[in-house]
Amino acid sequence: MNVAGEAVPQQLLFSRTRTLELPATQVVEFWRGGRRALSVAAARAHLRPSDALVLYVPGWWNTPDDPSSQAIVNALMTKHSSVHLLDTRLSFCRGYVTAVSNVPPLSHLLFGFIKKLHKSGYPVSSIHLIGFSLGAHVAGFTGKLVRNKLNTTLGRITALDPARPCFARPEYRLARDDAQFVHVIHSSTGVLGIEEPLGHADVYVNGVRGRQPECQDRSISLECDHAQAWKLYSASAVNEKSLMGRRCSSWEELLRDECSGNETAVGYSCSSDEHGMFLYKSKYKPAAPEPRLQVFNPFNFLRWPFRGAET
């Protein structure tokens, strides 16, 4: 499989939604001081029309207890009395292509959950789906089903670095029509994450091509770049000023890292009135390398006079 994702016939993957066996997926409900794992039907029964539904869909090889899920849930709990998480382990903790093939059935499962809520009078416009990596496409595909089959629209989708491999073709991935407001944070563009704008508001972390400065000294920098999306979003739920960006007037301005629009909150508190592309520049400054101790070699005349350390 190449990074561009063209090696996988997506029309085959996405035409198998009725034949794939979907594992017994659960929904985990978190509240202050507790949690419980529920069947999808039981989770639906616990929701009242007055409750806002905020549901997180983890990505490939993520679990309810890994750092990404815990950071997102804990941050959201500062804003909401309860948060739900779709436990994707049985579908996504597999080989990547198999995990991709499970995006449609997971989306159909989530759509069925929302459909039953809708029929019971629950306002679909109050639903906020948040997805990381593959989870972002589950959120998007679910939004498509809601729009096409229920003739209504999800309130909000937040997509944290939507996965690129196997999602190169626009018709099989997250799109701006999938919710009333689609908010995208891009942190590993063109490799693990999609480069093109996908939503109403697209936030580019340190530009389109740059590596994340927090990841410069990591042996697996791509994975680290990918993770910056959920790290920044979770931090912004606690402190909205931690993720501020400037609007870009054009793609060319974004490519030059010279966006000159007014600074605005582009994380959790991003207003649905904010449309366009935004540039966030990290305030992180890599630490200067520590001096390395040098052993004096009297036969190395290029090192005379001996300075003792190299900076």
Cα–Cα distance measured from residue 194 to residue 197, given in angstroms and rounded to the nearest whole number = 8
Written as six digits, the tokens of 304 are 């005379």
Of 108, 226, 234, 236, the catalytic one is 226
Q: Is 51 a catalytic residue?
A: no
Of 290, 13, 79, the C-alpha closest to 56 is 79
Dist CA 178 CA 14 (whole Å): 17
Identify whether the C-beta of residue 131 lies closer than 8 Å to the C-beta of residue 143.
no
The CA-CA-CA angle for residues 73, 75, 76, to 5°, reads 65
Structure tokens at 167: 């999602």
Catalytic hit among 133, 187, 188, 234: 133
- Nearest Cα to Cα of residue 205 among 245, 168, 176: 245
Helix (H, G, I), strand (E, B) or coil at 303: helix
- 42: which 2 tokens? 């039981």
273 is catalytic: no
At 255 the three-state DSSP class reads: helix
- E strand or H helix that includes residue 76: helix 67-76
The DSSP bridge pattern shows strands 127-132 and 53-57 to be parallel
Beta bridge partners of 99: none
Task: Write the Ramachandran bin of 270: left for phi over 0, alpha for psi from -120 to 50, otherwise beta.
Answer: beta
Q: Is 186 a catalytic residue?
A: no
In which order are the strands placed within the sheet that holds 201-205?
34-39, 26-31, 82-86, 53-57, 127-132, 154-160, 179-186, 201-205, 276-280, 244-248, 263-265
Q: If you search the block for the tokens 């989870």, which residue do you land on?
A: 135
Cα atoms in the Cβ-side hemisphere of radius 13 Å centred on 86? 35
- The catalytic residue among 68, 84, 137, 161 is 161
- So which residues are the catalytic ones? 133, 161, 226
